[in-house]
Amino acid sequence: MQRHLITSAIPYINGIKHLGNLVGSQLPADLFARYQRARGREVLFLCATDEHGTPAELAAAKAGKPVAEYCAEMHEVQSEIAKGFRLSFDHFGRSSSEANHKLTQHFAGRLADQGLIREVSETQMYSHADGRFLPDRYIEGTCPNCGFDSARGDQCDNCTKQLDPVDLINPHSTISGSTELEMRETKHLYLCQSQMKDQLEEWIDTREGWPVLTTSIAKKWLNDGDGLQDRGITRDLDWGVPVQKGDEPWPGMEGKVFYVWFDAPIEYIACGQEWVDAGKGTDWERWWRTDKGADDVTYTQFMGKDNVPFHTLSFPSTILGSAEPWKLVDYIKSFNYLNYDGGQFSTSRGRGVFMDQALEILPADYWRWWLLSHAPESSDSEFTWDNFQTSVNKDLADVLGNFASRVTKFCRSKFTEAVPEGGAYTERETRLIEELTAKVRDYEAQMEAIEVRKSAATLRAIWVLGNEYLQEVAPWSTIKEDPEMAAMQIRLGLNLIRLYAILSAPFIPDASAQLLTAMHSDTADWPEDVAAALEALPAGHAFTVPEVTFRKITDDERADWQERFAGVRT
């Protein structure tokens, strides 16, 4: 049996994420996990909240709560929203867990033993107004590379260039807004990534079929300018994983914590331990250690392009540098950005649709379908309300929902609420089955390759085949001359509904479950043989006419939502 370990980028704890965050990692990861489970494969799908570092401290301070309390509350909020979007995590963990503390300290000790951590006396930005050293993410300014005016002290989110706070133009404290900053001396630990360059490059070159976006970003960081740089892994903060070598104190590092980008990826592994501790699974090591059976696991990560450098270089430096048999990622599926209606999503300006707001408007499947069918794979994509309305109305309501409604209501009206008997296939049905089989095989190949938009387009094409067949054979006319022929056509149509529900489940799980329930189908086996799947519901099998599977979005709703989520334009 194939085994698939799947992780998506772990979201920061500081607030509810927007639709761009969702489609850039968690949602396509869920699509892939659901598909692999549907094919009968063993899956472990892990995610967590990223709870350390500047974003957590700032958000907690803004909320007027202790940071630990704030993180616990927001973990629950994000967990519930994930359930609302039907994200099928086997475990949704926390980077502040005891498991992650111990594992992070373990890796630090191993790296030190391998000579891959060095102590550096350096100058760091100090804020007089705040009375403290400012970690990189407490400092913002203008990027010297692209001119983006909200670049952070460690990286520009616009051009992805790695930065130091001193590189920023007009830097200021994100705590107080003060520009009264000076450089003072402090000591920190650095991960010697430069020593890992050749090993990392060799490893990346052995990864097969990675997206161009993933490899191009990794290669750029490896070879741009002076090449891969050593990177600080500690910070002067109170909230985080205390700096230790395993269980031993680290002399000179008292009061410091590990940098969030060091401990956050380690949470992927720790999350497996949390999964076992929560009583949801057993033997996490068979997923994560190659000496315990993980050598036959296929490990796939999903993330936005801004996370690629850390997952192709920094985290692998930790894993490889430890000289222990940990499972390395096999495939990184990276995504570009989803923009919002002519601009960017903005939390501060209230611009764009955030995950909790989306679920207040419409059920999860409406959003899942649009986001996945418009996933920003080859380039940035843009959410517009016109496009959203058109996609929902034409794809979901007119094609899939309308097919299920027409077939079931016609059968109830002209026969009964049971699959009718009589009639035999003609050349037209044989051709339909051949066309469906070819499309299903295409769909499978695209899903295996994680070609999200192509998979959605092929799934829609499968729905369309049924509609075209129904229009062509016109059972409402056939029944007048040949009731048995009409019965066969409708029997095939009812089985198509079941087939569509099974194939569509990774994209639109709620609608799939509704249609399977309406078809009184106790099984949802993957259609390895499409012809056989179209005979799964025999004559006499009862069904129920489903409620409206997808309703249409009205022009008034579209206009109202477009105005409501426009935010404050500047």
Residues annotated in the binding site, as ranges?
143, 146, 156, 159, 347
Angle CA 150–388–513, to nearest 5: 115
Helix, coil or strand: residue 43: strand
Binding-site residues for ATP, in ranges, read 347
Beta strand 231-232 pairing with 181-191: antiparallel
What stretch of H or E contains 71? helix 67-84
CA distances from 165 to 186, 231, 333, 471 (A): 15, 14, 30, 64
- Residues in Cβ contact with 315 at an 8 Å cutoff, skipping those fewer than 6 apart: 265, 266
d(CA 421, CA 426): 15
Number of DSSP helices (H) and strands (E) in the chain, helices first: 22, 18
Helix, coil or strand: residue 20: helix
Number of residues written out for the chain:
570
Helix, coil or strand: residue 196: helix
d(CA 558, CA 386): 7
- Residues in Cβ contact with 145 at an 8 Å cutoff, skipping those fewer than 6 apart: 156, 159, 161, 163
d(CA 137, CA 174): 8
Q: If we measure between CA atoms, which residue out of 53, 7, 3, 60 comes closest to residue 29?
A: 7
Percent helix, strand, coil in the chain, to 5, is 50, 15, 35
d(CA 496, CA 484): 18
**Angle 427-448/452-473 helices, nearest 10 degrees?**
170
- Residues in Cβ contact with 504 at an 8 Å cutoff, skipping those fewer than 6 apart: 400, 459, 511, 512
State the alpha helices, DSSP H only, in 278-420: 285-288, 308-309, 315-321, 355-361, 364-373, 385-391, 402-414
d(CA 198, CA 475): 67
- Residues in Cβ contact with 37 at an 8 Å cutoff, skipping those fewer than 6 apart: 43, 88
d(CA 10, CA 25): 8
Binding-site residues for Zn(2+), in ranges, read 143, 146, 156, 159
d(CA 171, CA 160): 18
